[in-house]
Amino acid sequence: MAFSIWPPTKRTREAVMNRLIETLSSPSILSKRYGLLTQEEASTTARFIEEQAFSIASNTIKKDEDGFDVLQVYSKEISKRMLETVKSRALSYSTLPHNASATAAAGDDDEIANKKKDKDSVSSEEISSITS
């Protein structure tokens, strides 16, 4: 009997998406730096990120592999894409004219300034705390 952890079950993939939604739409280290997504935005984004990560990971599997390496690719792709998404979103909000909609979208004035200053400086510890 062979043991394989890839592909993950539908239930596992849904749990990953739910965790992504929670991470993207709840206060955290990530949201302090890049802002929160609405529940709807987070849901759409989480589904897109998970599907892309699953596709990439599935294409890396080798015959007779137990799936651990593929699972690692899947996890790294999710983390990478989540960070790219929030950075991109924060950057697009920080380039908007300074008006009420930009402030409402990104938080208060200090948050906008911090996003510009810190947009590329997320530590691996912060990523680990978000994705675990």
Rounded Cα distance, 80 and 53, in Å? 9
Rounded Cα distance, 116 and 78, in Å? 24
- What's the confidence (pLDDT) of residue 5? 86
- What's the confidence (pLDDT) of residue 97? 58
Burial class (CB in 10 A: 0-12, 13-18, 19+), 70: buried
At 15, list the tokens. Answer: 């749990």
CA 114 remoteness from chain centre: 20
- Mind listing the domains of the chain with CATH numbers? 10-131 (1.10.246.200)
At 41, list the tokens. Answer: 């935005």
Q: Tens of pLDDT along the chain (132 residues)? A: 567 789 999 999 999 999 999 999 999 998 999 999 999 999 999 999 999 999 999 998 876 677 889 999 999 999 999 999 999 988 877 665 544 444 444 444 444 444 444 444 444 444 444 544
- DSSP state, 35? -
Rounded Cα distance, 71 and 74, in Å? 5
pTM value?
Answer: 0.68
- What's the confidence (pLDDT) of residue 94? 66
